[in-house]
Chains A and B, each alone.
Chain A
Amino acid sequence: MELFTNQVLAGIATGAIYACMALAVVMIYQAIDHLNFAQGEMAMFSTFISWQLMQWGIPYWWAFLMTLVISFAGGILIERLLFKPLAKAPILTNVAGFIALFAIVNSVAGLTWDFTIKQYPTPFGSSPFLGSQLISTHQAGMIGVTLLMLIGLYLFFQFTRIGLAMRAAAALPESARLVGINTSWMIALGWGMASAIGAVAGILIAPVVFLEPNMMGGVLVYGFAAAVLGGLTSPLGAVVGGFLVGVFENLAGTYIPGVGNELKLPIALALIITVLVFKPAGLFGRAIVKRV
């Protein structure tokens, strides 16, 4: 039983990271109807920035905050320079854009900080949390920071005018323009926020997976699985999907014979395919009906 509880709690901790990645993916998907394949690489790059700031002697939480601001600005910049011009381009052009972004960010990170694996600090330590062997303080910190951020985002979207305008722009761009909302800037804001959310995920998971340019590859696949499971049209679904995928991944690795650590990633892919076959809209999404 203790093994089970332990695996569930550890699953919730990594699930928090998947939830962040899924949320970032869904935010951009809602705004521009494309999956950002480079979300993980952007998060990795942000994590490197925070690492660099700490190397220069800036304390952890200051580096954390500065990285969020830099990532937010960087996300907006990427949208303005690369994806705004592609707004009316065909799907494949956009996909090529995302793959290019993926390759560029990955290579620039490798070029700047090389491909060796680096230790990344945690401000929470890794002792048992509250004296219990079930979960470490860092895992508790991952869950705590993610929950704080999710609550903040909920309040922002539910109770601020700009949050309302962003929701309107994502739901019905034409109607949003007709009430005077600059939908183009709302998309850019969405990119900035998604980029900052990814940065949080990268910084929190880095002590676990270690810092290197390919650190987010597996994480993003789980993030996609979470987003598909929860429904690409639902931010709430993405978050719930993230936690579910985290727990499911751990339980499958522990209890299904032969799965172990090596086969965990195919589980995420199997999950994506299963959801797409049996419930394409996901748990919380709505089916998209298009008039043709």
Chain B
Amino acid sequence: MTAMLNVKDLRAYYGQVQALHGLSFSLNEGSLTTLLGANGAGKTTTLRAICNMVRSTGAIEFEGAPLGSRSTESIVRLGIAHVPQGRGTFTTMTVEENLQLGAISRKDKAGIVSDIERMYAHFPVLKERYAQQAGTLSGGEQQMLAVARALMLRPRLMLLDEPSFGLAPLIVRDLFKILGKINREDKVTILVVEQNAQLALELADQAYVIETGRIVMSGNAKEIANNEDVRKSYLGY
């Protein structure tokens, strides 16, 4: 397996404050990796740095090519879909318009139409609500929509920032099942940031644990989940 995303010595800054202190990690093609850590550890910042949404230094390579100082939108167009914290739903637009926006950088009209149908098959509730304003959807439905919108890009890599946030446990289970399916069937490499460590480790095959802007642990998700010390000190369950 080759590394799809390679991050080396990533440092990120908010004004004068440094949030990441030299992070290095890599994602294998086809893998489902989770990035764990407490509040303020730098998980969101890591995702934002990959998409050049925060000032950072270090080297990020995607499929062998450096991202350099590319703009956010051109990084996305390379095939990196980012579902941000808070979902970033276009609340005043309809569900279907949200899906079309996900595919706005694509030119193949027929492919877009069939992908929208495919999303409705993945997430039947979106089909029921296709003409509704996205802001009227429940939290869980909006998260489904955010994932579907990201998939409309036909991404090679999908970054998800705390998809479980604010959702009922049952809905989170559903959502994670769908993520696993997308990873296996659509061959999308996934990096998911989570606070819900237990669930994320069940889903993922690789895991990284970060603390105050540094990676403190990495490895196979099963091993990390079974390691008593890790669980007590970093994952809190």
- What is A's interface to B at a CB cutoff of 8 Å? 161, 164-165, 167-168, 171-172, 174-183
Contacts and interface: CB of A to CB of B under 8 A. Distances in A.
Q: How large is the interface on B (under 10, 10 to 19, 20 to 34, 35 or more residues)?
A: 20 to 34
B97 A175 contact: no
A284 to B, nearest CB: 13
B73 interface: yes
15 contacts: A161-B100, A164-B101, A168-B90, A171-B92, A174-B84, A175-B84, A175-B88, A175-B89, A178-B72, A178-B81, A179-B76, A180-B76, A180-B77, A180-B104, A180-B105
Nearest to B107: A161
Contacts of A178: 51, 72, 76, 81-82, 84, 88
A167 B90 CA distance: 10
Query: For chain A, what secondary structure do more than half of its interface residues adopt (helix, strand, loop), or is it mixed?
Result: helix
Contacts of A177: 53, 71-73, 76
Contacts of A182: 71, 73
B93 A171 contact: yes
A27 to B, nearest CB: 16
Given A172-B90, A174-B88, A175-B88, A181 B104 contact: yes
A183 B73 contact: yes
A179 B105 CA distance: 7
B89 to A, nearest CB: 8
A58 B88 CA distance: 50
Interface string B70-86: 01111011000110100
A82 B200 CA distance: 48
Given A161-B104, A168-B101, A175 B90 contact: yes
Contacts of B93: 167-168, 171
Which of B76, B90, B100 counts the most A-chain CB atoms under 10 A from its CB? B90
A174 B82 CA distance: 11
A174 B104 CA distance: 15
Contact of A179 (B53, B71, B74, B101): B101
Contacts of B82: 178
Contact of A164 (B71, B104, B105): B104
Given A175-B89, A179-B149, 12 more contacts: A161-B100, A168-B101, A171-B92, A171-B93, A172-B90, A177-B53, A177-B76, A178-B88, A179-B76, A179-B104, A180-B104, A182-B71
